[in-house]
Amino acid sequence: MTILEVALPTPLRRRFDYLLPGNWSGDNPMPGSRVKVPFGNQELIGLLITCKSHSHLAEHKLKPALEILDEIPVMDTELLELSLWAADYYQCAPGEALQTALPVLLRQGVPAHLAGETVFTLTPEGKGLPQGALKRSPKQAALLAALQQQDYLRRSDLAPLGISRPILKQLQDKGLVETKELLPERPDTLHLLREQPLVLGDEQTKVMASLHTEGFTTYLLDGATGSGKTEIYLQAIEKVLTQGKQALVLVPEIGLTPQTLARFHRRFAAPVVTLHSGLNDRERLDAWLQARAGHASIIIGTRSAIFTPLAKPGIIIVDEEHDGSFKQQDGFRYSARDLAVMRAQRLGIPLILGSATPSLESLHNAQSQRYQHLQLRARAGSAIPPELRLLDIRNQALHEGFAAASLAAIDATLKAGNQVLVFLNRRGYAPALECHACGWLAQCNHCDARLTLHQSPRHLHCHHCDHQRAVPHTCPECKSPQLFPLGQGTERSESALQQLFPQVPVIRVDRDSTRAKDGMQKLLAGVHQGIPCILVGTQMLAKGHHFADVTLVVIIDADAGLFSTDFRGPERMGQLLLQVAGRAGRAEKPGQVLIQSYHSDHPLMQTLVSRGYHTLAEQILHERQLTQMPPYRHLALLRAESQRPELALQFLERARLLAEDTLPPSPLLSYLGPLPAMMEKRGDRFRYQLQFNAAQRKPLQQLLSQLALQLEADPLGRRVRWALDVDPQEM
């Protein structure tokens, strides 16, 4: 007897058994095929994991599947196994992991059919007509003549020939013309390049020589912004394409800029597809299928693109590997960067992790020789690295958040005909609204957070739960009309700068100003023409963009990460400041970076500015070793939230008891909590977490798998919202 073991889109951490459909004849369906099955009183589409001969359920309890949707599996074995491995590792239901890996349309049951381009061609009967036939209708004759000269016509060919839809239809009705589907051709390995690669500098040459494009190795390509990492990616990809293989390139969520894409298209004649959040479902599926069929040579995408099927995998590249967006923060909480290591290893292909500010995990892996460390120290071409300067702003009169020295530098830069970038990682007008009379602050009713004041349109906005409210005219506590914005947001800096420097455009780049489709591109069009201007923006500006004429960067609130309760705060601060700093002076013009700080004598800040990111990283790594934190230990969080705080707490206490029952606390595994999350109340829910800190992955994994099943079965587990987060990025 054949039993189908199926992963279904439910949050349950198990697989489900079914019989073959009643009318089934022939060979067993292949793993990775979609299966439609009855589930309670609904029908679900799942994925066949394996066919087996025994079930732990009695035969009369098994139901037949309704339909096998694929003859050729939508998911090949490699991808199926990777997804199931990831589901296990990240403690997620297999069905949920597979949901992430499959494009939406496939989950809905749409045929996995690569849509080709519809073209027009002659039927055999049409081909039988003599030259110059159909004379009575000149337009029909013209169409016929055109098709007698070339095999087929594309839709776009019709208008220039003066052929309209009705003419075409007439010939189709006569049975002379038909449509056919034209599939994209396989890439041609002889004509890969559109432009010649750059001549590599000495460091780049050494890096390229150490980079082998056969076999599995993880390379950490550690090179300052502008040192020529992208050129290394392009040349490594070229080698792989020459072997007839594909390249998968992962970029951070907002790092996929038109500039980056244009660079790939300029270099390669081979087909490039992109997978990102701006695609509609059909476009996403097409890109996925093209990768699967091997028609796409280069696949560039954000986090979930790690699950793209590859016909001929050749290399994986993760750009800005330190970026937090590679970790999914809800549902299936996987890290695309870490999965890239696993996938490359399984495929036996090289992986390049690139960054100017590598994560401490990757640096540690490089130090312990798990990764091969490749370094680029100098900037490529003639560019000079920017100079970093700390501006101590204690006891200084600030004008709208700006120190006098910052304003003078901005003025001088603009006068010299250059551009300025002002970085402030807070959108809106001001992060708080305060009553001058009694000190009242506008708070969100649903979160432990202040409401941000926005000016255009004017309203109060919670950036955590999206709650919005009108701005009050008087203080709700004391009725005073003296309500003032407190602190700086991008809108406020924008308007202050516009008043101070009315002669140049001030361009604000944040989530609000770029909301429209292509918003970012339109905003930045002027900037790329090189006219003197001021850019004000959040971290959206820090990623992926190249601003050749920016020679001054002013960082307004550098201190945010220094005192964060998240142990990764200082690491993130260092990465962000250097990424922003890296925007300055990328071309021939040297750049300057001013960092305003209230804590300019803080040792971490001092190290970063005077000795650079790598020394900072060493210092933080040393601290992590002493405090027994990653990368020296392995963390997991059990998160729970509920509108009733006592329920979430009770749930976590129970979980801790269950866990300690299995693995008592020891130097190899310690428990911490339940403790409140960084923001205890958010969106009306109270949030807590239990932390697991283990010396080794394996026992932690086993403990968590068992615990997850116990908690799934626990009645309290159904009354709170809970999740396991393995290798959490946010505490």
- Which residue ranges make up the site for ligand ADP (CB under 6 A)? 198-201, 204, 223, 225-231, 380-381
The two structure tokens encoding residue 151: 């095999």
Dist CA 528 CA 521 (whole Å): 10
Cβ 529 to Zn ion, closest distance in Å?
40
What, of Zn ion, ligand ADP, none, does residue 229 touch, CB below 5 to 8 Å by kind? ligand ADP
Q: Which is nearer to Zn ion, 443 or 710 (CB)?
A: 443
The helix (run of H) or strand (run of E) holding residue 293 is helix 281-293
Q: Contact with Zn ion (CB under 5 A): which of 39, 85, 152, 440?
A: 440
What is the DSSP-derived secondary structure letter of residue 64?
B
Q: Which is nearer to ligand ADP, 201 or 683 (CB)?
A: 201
What, of Zn ion, ligand ADP, none, does residue 216 touch, CB below 5 to 8 Å by kind? none
The answer to whether 301 touches 274, Cβ cutoff 8 Å, is yes
The three-class DSSP label of residue 302 is coil
Cβ 368 to ligand ADP, closest distance in Å?
25
| Interface of this chain with Zn ion, residues 180 to 209, rule: CB under 5 A | none
Cβ 698 to ligand ADP, closest distance in Å?
37
The two structure tokens encoding residue 655: 């979980």
What, of Zn ion, ligand ADP, none, does residue 380 touch, CB below 5 to 8 Å by kind? ligand ADP
The two structure tokens encoding residue 463: 């950036």
Binding residues: 435, 438, 444, 447, 462, 465, 475, 478
Binding residues for Zn(2+): 435, 438, 444, 447, 462, 465, 475, 478
Q: Which is nearer to ligand ADP, 235 or 488 (CB)?
A: 235
Q: Which is nearer to ligand ADP, 207 or 497 (CB)?
A: 207
Dist CA 503 CA 316 (whole Å): 47
Cβ 223 to ligand ADP, closest distance in Å?
5
What, of ligand ADP, Zn ion, none, does residue 404 touch, CB below 5 to 8 Å by kind? none
What, of Zn ion, ligand ADP, none, does residue 467 touch, CB below 5 to 8 Å by kind? Zn ion
Distance of CA 473 to the CA centre of its chain: 41
Dist CA 525 CA 540 (whole Å): 16
Three-class HEC string of 188-249: CCCCCECCCCCCCCHHHHHHHHHCCCCCCCEEEEEECCCCCHHHHHHHHHHHHHHCCCEEEE
Q: Which is nearer to ligand ADP, 260 or 538 (CB)?
A: 260
What, of ligand ADP, Zn ion, none, does residue 428 touch, CB below 5 to 8 Å by kind? none
Cβ 617 to ligand ADP, closest distance in Å?
18
Peptide bond between residue 631 and the one before it cis (omega within 30 degrees of 0): yes
Cβ 260 to ligand ADP, closest distance in Å?
9
Q: Which is nearer to ligand ADP, 27 or 195 (CB)?
A: 195
Q: Which is nearer to ligand ADP, 570 or 591 (CB)?
A: 591
The reply to whether 640 sits near Zn ion by the rule CB under 5 A is: no
Dist CA 94 CA 99 (whole Å): 9
For 121-133, b/e burial (b = at least 16 CB within 10 A) is bbeeebeeeeeee
The answer to whether 591 touches 552, Cβ cutoff 8 Å, is yes
Amino acid at 655: A
What, of Zn ion, ligand ADP, none, does residue 446 touch, CB below 5 to 8 Å by kind? Zn ion
Q: Contact with Zn ion (CB under 5 A): which of 447, 553, 580, 605?
A: 447
Amino acid at 483: L
The three-class DSSP label of residue 68 is strand
Cβ 439 to Zn ion, closest distance in Å?
7
Count how many Cα atoms sit within 13 Å of the Cα of residue 221 in the half-sphere of its side chain. Answer: 29
Cβ 230 to ligand ADP, closest distance in Å?
3
Q: How many CB atoms lie within 10 A of CB 10?
A: 17
Q: Which is nearer to ligand ADP, 250 or 475 (CB)?
A: 250
Dist CA 312 CA 69 (whole Å): 25
What, of Zn ion, ligand ADP, none, does residue 17 touch, CB below 5 to 8 Å by kind? none
Q: What is the total count of residues that contact Zn ion (CB under 5 A)?
A: 15
The reply to whether 438 sits near Zn ion by the rule CB under 5 A is: yes
Tokens 């007439």 correspond to 170
Closest CA to 589 of 462, 417, 454, 730: 417
Dist CA 240 CA 554 (whole Å): 41
Q: Which is nearer to Zn ion, 284 or 682 (CB)?
A: 682
Residue 250: C-alpha distances to residues 100, 361, 617, 623, 679 (Å) = 16, 18, 24, 30, 31
Cβ 675 to Zn ion, closest distance in Å?
21
The answer to whether 538 touches 490, Cβ cutoff 8 Å, is yes
| Interface of this chain with Zn ion, residues 451 to 510, rule: CB under 5 A | 462, 464-465, 467, 475, 477-478, 480
Q: Which is nearer to ligand ADP, 33 or 362 (CB)?
A: 362
The reply to whether 435 sits near Zn ion by the rule CB under 5 A is: yes
The two structure tokens encoding residue 698: 């394996």
What, of Zn ion, ligand ADP, none, does residue 464 touch, CB below 5 to 8 Å by kind? Zn ion
The reply to whether 536 sits near Zn ion by the rule CB under 5 A is: no
Count how many Cα atoms sit within 13 Å of the Cα of residue 83 in the half-sphere of its side chain. Answer: 26
Window contacting Zn ion (CB under 5 A); options: 92-100, 173-181, 243-251, 436-444: 436-444
Cβ 540 to ligand ADP, closest distance in Å?
17
Cβ 471 to Zn ion, closest distance in Å?
14
The helix (run of H) or strand (run of E) holding residue 139 is helix 138-149
Dist CA 556 CA 218 (whole Å): 37
Closest CA to 161 of 170, 176, 172, 150: 150
What, of ligand ADP, Zn ion, none, does residue 223 touch, CB below 5 to 8 Å by kind? ligand ADP
What, of Zn ion, ligand ADP, none, does residue 200 touch, CB below 5 to 8 Å by kind? ligand ADP
Q: Which is nearer to ligand ADP, 32 or 223 (CB)?
A: 223
Which residues lie near Zn ion (CB under 5 A)? 435, 437-438, 440, 444, 446-447, 462, 464-465, 467, 475, 477-478, 480
